[in-house]
Structure 1
Amino acid sequence: MITKIRFLLCCLLLMTSVVFTQNSSDKIALSTLLSTLEKSYDIKFSYSDTDVKDIFIPQPKQGISIDELLSFLNKKTFLQFKTLDNRYVTVSFLNKTIAICGTVLDAKTLEPLLLTSVKVNGYKLGTTTNNNGVFHLKNVPVNATLNISFIGFKTKNFAAKELFLPSCKQLFLEEASEQLSEIIMPRFLTAGLQKSTDGSTVLNTEKFGILPGLIEPDILQTIKILPGVESVNESISNINVRGGTNDQNLILWDGIKMYHAGHFFGLISAYNPYLTKKVSVTKNGTSSTFSDGVSSTINMETSNRITNKFSGGAGFNLLSADAFVQVPLKENLEVHISARRSFTDVINTPTYNNYFSRSFQDNSISSNIVNNTESDFYFYDYSFKVLYDVNYNHAIRTNFIHIKNNLDYKEQYTSNNTLIEENSALKQENVGAKISWDANWNAKFSTTLSAFYSDYKINSSDFNNDTDQFQTQFNNVLETEIKLNSKYEFSDVLFFTNGLVFNEIGIRNTTTVNAPTFSTTEKKVLLKSAFYSEIEYQKNNTYARFGVRANYFDKFNKFVIEPRINIRQQLNTAFSLKLEGELKNQTTAQKVDFEENFLGIEKRRWILSDDENIPIVKSKQVSFGTAYAKDKLYVDITSFYKKVDGITAANQGFYNNIQTFNSIGNYEVKGVEFLVNKQTENISTWLSYTYSKNEYSFDIFSPETFANSLDISHSVSAAFNYSFTKKLKVSFGGVLRSGKPYTKPVLGNETIQNGNRTIVNYDNPNQENLANFFRLDLSGSYKFDFSDALKATIRLGFTNITDKKNTIDSYYVVDDSSQNNVRRVDNYSLPFTPNLSFRVRF
């Protein structure tokens, strides 16, 4: 029996050897074959190594004559084999053409790239790929090179002979964006969050995992978990990056500057995440292509590729419902559409009730003083994008977005036996549109010409029953911009970017009052042009970006030069150093009114610099840090310094005696950010800590230097994510931070007379701090499939599970009925609030 087994094994080994020999002899390198033939036929081939490089042909039959051998070689290659005498054979290119083919694929997803440009360099010959990414070309010169390009991808060149039929070689193109922002942490804190080489944090909404309390990849809620990013009042409309105010964040949606951030007056993001492919958050070292936003840049980008696949999704939560679709109309034409609307004007859920009370707690709308009240609140947003590839080198994209909050409030009361009905209203909206033309002029040079329009309005009419006064306010920002951006690739590691920008912005503010009769309108317009230049280098362990932006303000006849720097150096496989610095400016700010406000909820109005009473806001910032990344452990320590000049007392939100002063000052913040994130196959846990000292300086005040209203000295957040399976996940976490500063009245002298009015007599500003803020959140998600094409996700989230009553703001009002004639008004955070979402995707 053993002998038979040995015999069978020997036969099997012999057969395997024969098969292997046959397979390996199917194709052989021509250079190797020629060396063998020289010995077998005692001849000498005269050729260039480059001519025969990468050519593989079948083995010729043994024992054939030299003439038959040369005929075989001429037939199987695109070379000419010619005998000079009985011993020497010359090898050279034929003056003829060959047929080639190839398959072009996305290097990341391995999906075929439709309509990829295939050009023969130096010849009027070319084609495009079909639905499978395949192309064929005939009559291609054998010594030619091919240029393979696709919008949004890195252009590559290939030798024609590499694609000689019948190989149909696979050719891989990489996305151009990956060259400039290589991902160094593919999974940061949770799935869908990534760290890029330039220091920015990238949110990929398609791959979003789970975060404590969140039921959706809410764009602006998500970035609040990053070190150095706070919101002193929980609102995403009031995101504070390294001690800056919310109006110092540049918010871009597909290149359109947006002036409106949140629905429900800041409790949820106004941007539908399900068509937003990528969000980049940059705190320092910003690219010179961006202006404004002296504290941060939040850049949201939707999908820019034609997929030629019909796809979409829909879902709802306890506030709203939404849907989105991607519809291919032709091979080179596609439409992306999204829409969301709340049903809060129809159904009152527990989530809605808590959000409503939180938003309107500082207003009579939430009180029960008036016997009969009726409120009607809703929000919506929608967007669409048209993608059109003119050909394989030119593409046109158009975008449109509309965001709106609407509140109608009606109150009824009886006066002198007469039923009186008064109506108040608040409408807040932002409309944006953009068109762009992307062009690849050759393998190294590309341009983008774009223009955008952004129109922001907030319009209110408010009846105050206590004072019998009717007031209207209107704030409008209208901005247009034309931009030409060019990029030249010196090599695979060195890039040069230049651009021109022409920008016009106009802001109007109108206020009317019936008693006493009063009306005022103020409108300002500013024209700004800019030139920027930037060079970017990325190779092996080094990343460096140096840029400069020159801004010219026509009305002020003023130049502002802004250098930018961003360097990252990998020291070894684990440690890296980073240095970032920038100068930036912005000409818009938000004035905060406490007496004349938009129904007590939106107290901020956009205003425009006049370079005198309202100067251009300028910042200078530098940060230095080190990071450790190995074995799924990531540790980051970054120190930073920022100084912002040109701020006014009117846009700082002071609750004290200086809120009405027209004074100009600055704030200076120093701090350290620390983050540690450990991941395993099923667990991701992190702890972050930020320490900062943030102080104002106003020359006319006493004291001149005092705590910033956004000074959060200590902030700690931690979370624990666990994946029970690939479909079932939970996330638990919390935040603990110092209370924000506030101002108390002078003890024993709480009120003073100001003309005919009695006002609160505040003490020195921001000498007190609110109690520490503490909140724990929990969320869970479960994915399941209805079919291979239809997938679903259900998420459940709980905000503030301990129901802690956090005070987020405090101020004082005159109240003759209370002790000391003043009454403290406290605003509180969200109480325990559940939410639920259900989504399907196809």
Structure 2
Amino acid sequence: MSLNKVLCILGCFVLSFATNAQTEAQIALADLIPELEAKFDVKFSYTSEAVNHIVVERPNDEASLTTIISDLNATTLLHFKFLTERYITISTIEKTINICGVLKTVDTIPLYGASVYVSGYTKGVVTDENGKFTLNDVEVDATITISYIGFETKMLEALSLRGQKDCFIITMTAKSEVLDEIVISKFLTTGLQQRVDGSTQLNTEQFGILPGLTEPDVLQSIQALPGVESLNESIANINVRGGTNDQNLMLWDGIKMYHSGHFFGLISAYNPYLTEKVIVTKNGTSSAFSDGVSSTVNMFTKDEVNETFSGGFGANLIHADAFFEVPISKKIALHVSGRRSFTDVFNSPTYENYFERSFQDSELTTNGEDINEVATASDFYFYDYTAKLLYDLNEKHQFRAQVIGINNNLDYEESYTNNSNETESKTSNLKQTNLGFGGDWEAQWGARFQTHLSAYYSKYNVDAIDYRVETDQELIQANEVLETGIKLKANYKIHDNLNVLNGYQFTEVGILNATTVSNPVYSRTKKDVLLNHAFFSEIEFKNKTLFVRGGVRANYFQKFSKLIIEPRLNLHYQLFNNFAIKFLGEFKNQSATQIIDFQDDFLGVENRRWILADEQTIPISESKQGSFGFQYNKYNFVVDIEGFYKTVEGITVSNQGFYNNFQFINAIGNYTVKGVEFLVNKTAHKYSTWLSYTYSVNDYGFKTLEPSVFPNNADLRHSVSLAFNYDILPNFKASIGGIWRSGQPFTKPVEGNETVQSGNSTFVNYDSPNSENLEDFMRLDASLNYSFKLNDNVQTSIKVGVINVLDRKNTINTYYKVDPNDSNSAIRIKKESLGFTPNISFRCNF
């Protein structure tokens, strides 16, 4: 026999012996008990449920019964007790245990901010800056779920993590998927994360606390980011890097939304408790998206079919809401949510402040002087709802269908006494709605090829009936947007670091504007439809140091036979361990914009209406943007600096809302904004703090106006945000922060010649456009959050927030009108910000 054969046989024998020895070293307790009864002539008393599935070390053949029983007591959660020398009882001594663990990557980097929770319960924690977590009083038979963005979800038995002297090290495996990795896991506050492509992700379930907020309001929260402002405190008027609010693309589960705020912009219209994450992109957008020349706000609802029923409900001083995740089977689930204000029943101090802020200088607060004994009453309410049906055909095919509805309704009643001492009453109404439907089919055709087919329908309406008692005139106005779309995306992973995306998108947009007047009789209706075919392609490469995504989008507008090519580039390079540089650039277009009417429209409350480009008086808007910056990130200390340059062509005077001599002139122009964003952020286990500063110069360019170049309405030269969050106790958190920014530009009348007359009409004679600035805006906000458990299944929280703690009077807009008592002079109208506004919320999640 050869030496090789001898060695092979010997190796097989050793391997077989080792395997058998390992198997024999452990034994099921249910099998060991009969052996001990036979060997030592004893009898055990127990239930089969107590010993099933328990595996123990096989005792040494020479060990005594007393030694064996002592070892079993030490190594199991059972209690072995001698009743007599021959009879032994076995009982369960623990129903709950304490567990702990430390999460790390394969490179032993701690994972901060990961979710660890008991499956089927609301009990859970977030890992600290060292990746450590502890959970007390966990059911012995519980399953622990560990999840972290960009990593595979782990499910472990609680017993395997039973707390000992040292916590168990749990290695998380990076998820192999097309999504970008997170580069900063805790950005500003828990639940805000920065992605490698420069976008920011908000995870509402993990969201911490921000100054002044009592809920993780999606559109209020993103204003903590540098370069994201609201000139008038309204989330319906968010300005990203100097752009107007209609230049932000709002997507909810792939459905384009044309309405974003309740209470005419003071509250986000999107319920945050089923919105799992929100991704905000200011530049370097994927070629799969267009139609938002300033930013993209992409909202995603929860997308997993869970086998346990869960939900929550809550209320604050404005509204109440509830959401539920209902499992129908192992493959089908239904997610629903609803929210409604009770402002038409109960007027809280918060409501009074919001009402005064929203409706100041509208027909609800001003009346004609020739009407005697006017009595007014207004009822305002809003509601929203969502529903999502989830169906997992199998691991490779998933189907989703979703619906969202948003509604704002205002009824305004005037009772007045005329000159004949007769009392009459007239009612006006303003309603805003946005209804959306969507469906998705995601298919995994192999290890490397994936497709995603989606379709949606969105309908937006603003309808107003305004009866003017002074003139006995009824004004009926309507603005309707109908959009349908379909998108197909195909991802092919060439290898682990390289992915190719190709796709096609078709959209049809129809917009109607109608006005009807009763006295004198007048009616006008205008409807436009635009079809857009878009093909897009991009390639993405990423490894530990480099992320680069380059793409192109071709948009063809059938009505105009116009082709617009949009290149995109996004690069992030880790130059050193803690230092990275980034470069982003994009071309984008937008065919639907808003024009701004003035006080006589929609009760003077909602003065924006959507219109479509016609390539004559209203061109398709096109933007070009580039930015360059660097980032330092070490020990949860972040310094981020980014300079940007953006120009948007194809804006119109009616789109900008001028209060000057240009407001009734038709002109097409552009704006150019250049600036720098600076952010310093430090996060730790118990606190986080940040300071952001934005400097920018934003100018209009209208060749047909004089002057042709002047400051943009959104030209905020300086903007500073500072905040500090602190965990006073594990379940008691506080947040305080402030905003300071330059006052926005406005136009004054010509001194000494404030009005001019044209025929029988008198107008304000404005000076050079936007040559003055409002007073600086400054506001301090604060919040407290206390959470506690009603029982093991119900997590409760009470949050208190105060906006404008110092009750500072900030002017957020101003304009002039002819003095009714003196036609030679103009009076200044000021719109003020929210004053001291407290709010409190109570929530229960189960």
After superposition, residues 183-198 of structure 1 pair within 5 angstroms as 183-198=182-197
| 2:706 corresponds to 1:702 | yes
Alignment partner, residue 480 of structure 2: 476
SS of alignment partner, residue 188 of structure 1? coil
1:735 shift after superposition: 0.5
Cα 1:364/1:291, change in 2 over 3 Å: same
SS of alignment partner, residue 246 of structure 2? helix
Kept in 2, the 8 Å contact 1:38–1:45? The answer is no
1:91-147 Cα offsets, whole Å, 9 max, x none, are xxxxxxxxxxxxxxxx98799999xxxxxxxxxxxxxxxx999xxxxxxxxxxxxxx
SS of alignment partner, residue 651 of structure 1? helix
1:364 shift after superposition: 2.8
After superposition, residues 156-235 of structure 1 pair within 5 angstroms as 175=175, 179-235=178-234
After superposition, residues 429-828 of structure 1 pair within 5 angstroms as 429-818=433-822, 820-828=824-832
Structure 2 unaligned spans of 5+: 24-104, 106-113, 121-140, 144-149, 154-169
**Matched residues in 1 for 2:201 and 2:172: separation?**
24
Kept in 2, the 8 Å contact 1:193–1:201? The answer is yes
1:294-351 Cα offsets, whole Å, 9 max, x none, are 0000000001111112100000000000000000000100000000000000000000
Alignment partner, residue 10 of structure 1: none
Kept in 2, the 8 Å contact 1:424–1:462? The answer is yes
**Matched residues in 2 for 1:53 and 1:809: separation?**
83
Alignment partner, residue 18 of structure 1: none
Alignment partner, residue 117 of structure 1: none
Kept in 2, the 8 Å contact 1:748–1:820? The answer is no
Kept in 2, the 8 Å contact 1:376–1:409? The answer is yes
Cα 1:492/1:657, change in 2 over 3 Å: same
Alignment partner, residue 378 of structure 2: 375
Cα 1:663/1:55, change in 2 over 3 Å: farther
Alignment partner, residue 282 of structure 1: 281
1:691-718 Cα offsets, whole Å, 9 max, x none, are 0000000011111000000100000110
**Matched residues in 1 for 2:799 and 2:544: separation?**
41
1:470 shift after superposition: 2.2
**Matched residues in 2 for 1:209 and 1:55: separation?**
56
Alignment partner, residue 395 of structure 1: 398
Kept in 1, the 8 Å contact 2:176–2:496? The answer is no
**Matched residues in 1 for 2:827 and 2:497: separation?**
64
The number of equivalent residue pairs is 712
Cα 1:171/1:627, change in 2 over 3 Å: closer
1:54 shift after superposition: 14
| 2:314 corresponds to 1:315 | yes
**Matched residues in 2 for 1:549 and 1:47: separation?**
66
1:596 shift after superposition: 3.7
| 2:8 corresponds to 1:45 | yes
Alignment partner, residue 97 of structure 1: none
**Matched residues in 1 for 2:9 and 2:569: separation?**
55
SS of alignment partner, residue 221 of structure 2? helix
SS of alignment partner, residue 285 of structure 2? coil
**Matched residues in 1 for 2:559 and 2:529: separation?**
9
1:818 shift after superposition: 4.6
**Matched residues in 2 for 1:54 and 1:620: separation?**
69
After superposition, residues 8-157 of structure 1 pair within 5 angstroms as 43-45=6-8, 57-58=19-20
Alignment partner, residue 6 of structure 1: none
- Counterpart amino acid of residue 736 in structure 2: F
**Matched residues in 2 for 1:392 and 1:582: separation?**
36
**Matched residues in 2 for 1:196 and 1:550: separation?**
26
Cα 1:512/1:38, change in 2 over 3 Å: farther
Cα 1:580/1:60, change in 2 over 3 Å: closer
**Matched residues in 1 for 2:686 and 2:620: separation?**
49
Alignment partner, residue 416 of structure 2: 413
**Matched residues in 1 for 2:22 and 2:836: separation?**
81
SS of alignment partner, residue 490 of structure 1? strand
- Counterpart amino acid of residue 389 in structure 1: D
SS of alignment partner, residue 580 of structure 1? strand
CA RMSD between the two structures: 2.9
Alignment partner, residue 266 of structure 2: 267
- Counterpart amino acid of residue 583 in structure 1: F
1:240-274 Cα offsets, whole Å, 9 max, x none, are 00000000000000000000000000001000000
Structure 1 unaligned spans of 5+: 1-36, 62-106, 115-130, 134-151, 156-169
**Matched residues in 2 for 1:532 and 1:829: separation?**
43
TM-score (norm 1): 0.81
**Matched residues in 2 for 1:56 and 1:172: separation?**
30
SS of alignment partner, residue 195 of structure 1? strand
**Matched residues in 1 for 2:342 and 2:116: separation?**
41
Structure 1 segments (4+ residues) deviating >6 Å: 46-49, 52-56, 107-114, 152-155, 170-173
- Counterpart amino acid of residue 658 in structure 1: F
Cα 1:461/1:176, change in 2 over 3 Å: farther
1:748 shift after superposition: 1.7
1:504 shift after superposition: 0.3
Alignment partner, residue 832 of structure 1: 836
Cα 1:735/1:47, change in 2 over 3 Å: farther
Cα 1:739/1:786, change in 2 over 3 Å: same
**Matched residues in 1 for 2:194 and 2:762: separation?**
54
Percent of aligned pairs with the same amino acid: 55
Kept in 1, the 8 Å contact 2:152–2:172? The answer is no
